[in-house]
């Protein structure tokens, strides 16, 4: 009986953060060369919530080479990126902007942050873009967010 409990406990622990075997937590890295290591992030529609862990693998401080991870619809990508430039430091993101689905804080080299958000209202197969709103970074640091 104790063996069965241990197996079920271990199985439950291993599936934590997954939905139907799909990973509901994704890690993305930003570096000092204005790059994310991923051009797309894929998550399962079975995930009610998704966590994005952003890791800045560079060495430069946030004031010089800060990165964040912001998610919007693709139609809102450029308008929100422009609004972020106008909003200025410290987050380069307009406060309370309803077009922002999710966003992390700005971080510098050697730091990490995360954001957890609900995707149950987002349409699988919808057109979503993630990007960095630090000045000028959105041009190179962007990608597709795909709900399968």
Whichever domain contains 71, its CATH number is: 2.60.40.420
Instruction: List the one residue out of 14, 13, 20 whose CA is nearest residue 148.
Output: 20
**β-pair type (18-19, 22-23):** antiparallel
Structure tokens at 41: 């992030």
13 part of a folded domain: no
7 part of a folded domain: no
48 part of a folded domain: yes
* The predicted structure's pLDDT at residue 137: 97
**Total domains in the fold of the chain:** 1
Q: Is the pTM of this model over 0.75?
A: yes
Residue 108 has phi, psi (to 5 degrees) of: -110, 180
Domain that holds residue 84: 19-147
33 part of a folded domain: yes
* The predicted structure's pLDDT at residue 131: 98
* The predicted structure's pLDDT at residue 23: 82
94 part of a folded domain: yes
31 part of a folded domain: yes
2 part of a folded domain: no
End-to-end CA distance of the chain: 38
Per-block average pLDDT, block size 10, for the chain (148 residues)? 36 36 86 98 96 98 98 98 95 96 98 97 96 97 97
């Amino acid at each position: 009986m104790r063996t069965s409990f241990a197996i079920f406990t271990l199985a439950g622990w291993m599936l934590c953060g997954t939905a139907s075997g799909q990973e509901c937590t994704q890690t993305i890295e930003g570096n000092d060369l204005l790059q994310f290591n991923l051009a797309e992030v894929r998550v399962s529609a079975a995930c009610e919530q998704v966590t994005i862990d952003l890791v800045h693998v560079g060495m430069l401080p946030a004031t010089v080479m800060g990165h964040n991870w912001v998610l919007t619809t693709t139609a809102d990508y450029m308008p929100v990126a422009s609004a972020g430039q106008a909003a200025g430091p410290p987050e380069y993101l307009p406060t309370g902007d309803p077009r922002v689905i999710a966003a992390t804080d700005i971080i510098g080299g050697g730091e990490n942050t995360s954001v957890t958000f609900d995707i149950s209202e987002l349409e699988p197969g919808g057109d979503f873009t993630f990007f960095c709103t630090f000045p000028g970074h959105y041009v190179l640091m962007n990608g597709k967010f795909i709900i399968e």
